[in-house]
Amino acid sequence: MQHATQRGSLAVIGGGVIGLSVARRAAQDGWQVRVHLSPQPGASWVAGGMLAPHSEGWPGEERLLQIGMESLALWRAQGPGCYLEGLPAHVVTARESLVVAVDRADAADLRTVGQWLSTQGHPVELTTTARDVEPMLAQGIRHGFLAVTELAVDNRAVVEALAAHCDGLGVSWAGPVDSLAGVDADTVVIANGIDAPALWPGLPIRPVKGEVLRLRWRRGCLPVPHRVIRARVRGRQVYLVPRGDGVVVGATQYEHGRDTSPTVTGVRELLDDACAVMPALGEYELSECAAGLRPMTPDNLPLVGRLDARTLVAAGHGRSGFLLAPWTAEKIAAELAAGVQPETTKV
């Protein structure tokens, strides 16, 4: 996409996948963009990178499913101007998701989700022979469904590639801000996740902690799976996301303020659940334990829209930041093009 006519100056507060996606899209539209980012890595750096509206769906979250499907279509689009334009091909690490259940109660929950997806017009392919699809699954795991359009991306590679693309488009960089009053720009987009309420009090965003592990493949181990594996293990959710050198395992979820220290209990549960689903992972190297803070809203829907004549918000994406990045960038681009609107848009 080529530069358009210069539109004015835009400050994007936040350098994660949402802020960088918004900044890149605005720069492509001709805005003079500056990104204010923290030197500390945020939620985007420890994300799983799943683009999984079907397999993460749950009854009652119909709107989130809808916008997730819209954004997945933007991820999958090809040709000039598509979201993946300018990003290296290796950022996509898996195609398809397989959702499985370990015990009978988990299988019942899985059937509930499958039936709910069907009523939303998104039928999924139920199976009782999941190990035929993924032979590395533990013996006894039979029930599951395939979501064949879903993807996974290397979160860190995406963030680095977006930053490089922004550089190429002339985006400038600055440090974090603690007040909008000192931001020198015609328009401001608040896209700094859990810190958004500090800039605009009253935004209903809270931190929710999630631990994530990285397991590195070692010589002699069984190979990395080709698709994302999501499972319910005794009521707990666990996901296994392929990377070029191993698997990302996540994620616990609980409210613990701003604590980002991995706990023994959280890591142990993730390892136990991961190996219950795929025993061969027990021979991989445990190369990293980390925890991030998801920016959650009360209804799990992001806040994307205009706050006043100068200020927009793109925050509160919870567990769906990478999935919803293209959709958010397009929504903010449309708001910027339209000019001042009378009230905030809540999706």
**Which string of DSSP letters, residue by residue, matches 19-30?**
HHHHHHHHHHTT
Model pLDDT for residues 65-111, shown as the tens digit of each residue: 999 999 999 999 998 889 999 899 999 999 999 999 988 888 888 88
Whether 279 contacts 299, CB under 8 Å: no
Report how far residue 239's alpha carbon sits from residue 273's, in angstroms, rounded to the nearest whole number: 9
pLDDT for res 3: 46
Q: What average pLDDT does the chain have?
A: 92
One fold for 1-49+154-203+298-347 and 93-151+206-296: no
Task: Tell me the percentage of the chain whose pLDDT exceeds 90.
Answer: 79
SS3 (DSSP) at 232: strand
Report how far residue 155's alpha carbon sits from residue 47's, in angstroms, rounded to the nearest whole number: 6
Find the helix packing angle between 155-168 and 17-28, rounded to 10°.
30
Confidence of residue 136 (pLDDT cuts 50, 70, 90): very high
CB atoms within 10 A of CB 171: 22
Domain ranges of the chain: 1-49+154-203+298-347, 93-151+206-296
Identify the sign of the CA torsion 206, 60, 332, 260.
positive
Report how far residue 227's alpha carbon sits from residue 50's, in angstroms, rounded to the nearest whole number: 11
Selected from 3.10.20.30, 3.40.50.300, 3.50.50.60, 3.40.50.920, the CATH number assigned to the domain covering 1-49+154-203+298-347 reads: 3.50.50.60
Selected from 2.60.120.260, 3.50.50.60, 3.30.9.10, 3.40.50.720, the CATH number assigned to the domain covering 93-151+206-296 reads: 3.30.9.10
User: 303: which strand partners?
Assistant: 315, 346
Q: What's the N-to-C CA distance of the chain in angstroms?
A: 27
Closest by Cα among 166, 192, 179 to 16: 192
Query: How many residues are listed for the chain in this entry?
Result: 347
Whether 281 contacts 134, CB under 8 Å: no
CA 323 to chain centre: 5
Confidence of residue 341 (pLDDT cuts 50, 70, 90): very low
Tokens matching residue 342: 């009378």
**Which string of DSSP letters, residue by residue, matches 247-306?**
EEEE---B-BTB--PPPHHHHHHHHHHHHHH-GGGGGSEEEEEEEEEEEE-TTS--EEEE
Confidence of residue 236 (pLDDT cuts 50, 70, 90): confident
Residue 230 predicted with pLDDT over 70: yes
Confidence of residue 124 (pLDDT cuts 50, 70, 90): confident
Q: Give the β-pairing of 236-243 and 303-306.
A: unpaired
Q: In what order do the strands lie in the sheet with 172-174?
A: 172-174, 31-36, 8-13, 187-190, 311-315, 303-306
Residue appearing with tokens 């960089």 = 173
Report how far residue 332's alpha carbon sits from residue 325's, in angstroms, rounded to the nearest whole number: 11
* DSSP 8-state symbol, 346: B
Model pLDDT for residues 181-225, shown as the tens digit of each residue: 989 999 999 999 999 999 999 999 999 999 999 999 999 999 999
pLDDT for res 283: 97
